[in-house]
């Protein structure tokens, strides 16, 4: 019994350390994610006009993205059955059909998928939250 207990504690310690160093990542397989938000970060010295333009972009993106859902089937296909997906660590890639042509890329962040672009001090990120 002591050997089992020691082995179990050692195994738990290895898993905890592996998660701490590698950053445990949620597996998207079998899950659906729904659009939930747009995050826009501007440079600290952004003008009022740039801030207003960013708010307009944010509202436009929210309106255009409001009904988007991504379902990652366990067989590697998307909910529509047309596209495929693969996950490598925190990176999730959707491919056009059965090809290696990339349609979209996401980063897993807990129970959320984030898709965005950073350029010139600006960052636009679409956030999709795991459906319940």
Of 89, 77, 80, 85, the C-alpha closest to 24 is 89
Summarize pLDDT for 95-120 with one digit per residue, the tens. 999 999 999 999 999 999 999 988 77
Phi, psi of 90 (to 5 degrees): -90, -5
Helix (H) or strand (E) holding 27: none
The set of residues, in sequence order, having a beta carbon less than 8 Å from that of 81 and lying 6+ positions away, is 73
**Beta 122-130 vs 102-109: how paired, if at all?**
unpaired
pLDDT for residue 83: 95
Summarize pLDDT for 51-61 with one digit per residue, the tens. 999 999 899 98
pLDDT for residue 122: 85
Cα dihedral 62/95/82/112 (nearest 10): -40
In DSSP notation, 50-96 reads HHHHHHHHHHHHHHHHTT-EEEE-TTSBBTTSSSEEEEETTEEEEES
Show the tokens assigned to 129: 């939250």
Summarize pLDDT for 63-82 with one digit per residue, the tens. 998 889 999 999 999 988 89
pLDDT for residue 31: 96
Mean pLDDT of 21-37: 81
pLDDT for residue 11: 29
Residue 5 has pLDDT above 90, yes or no: no
Q: Which domains does the chain have, with CATH numbers?
A: 25-130 (2.40.128)
Share of the chain above pLDDT 90, in %: 60
């Amino acid at each position: 019994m002591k050997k089992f207990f020691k082995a179990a504690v050692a195994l738990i310690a290895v898993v905890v350390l592996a998660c701490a160093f590698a950053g445990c990542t949620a597996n998207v397989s079998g899950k659906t994610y729904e659009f939930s938000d747009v995050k826009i970060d501007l440079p600290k010295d952004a003008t009022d006009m740039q801030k207003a333009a960013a708010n307009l972009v944010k509202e436009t993106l929210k309106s255009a993205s409001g009904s988007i859902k991504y379902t990652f089937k366990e067989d590697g296909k998307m909910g529509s059955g047309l596209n495929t997906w693969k996950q490598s660590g925190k990176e999730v890639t959707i491919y056009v059909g059965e090809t290696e042509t990339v349609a979209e890329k996401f980063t897993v962040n807990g129970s959320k998928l984030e898709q965005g672009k950073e350029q010139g001090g600006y960052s636009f990120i679409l956030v999709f939250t795991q459906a319940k």
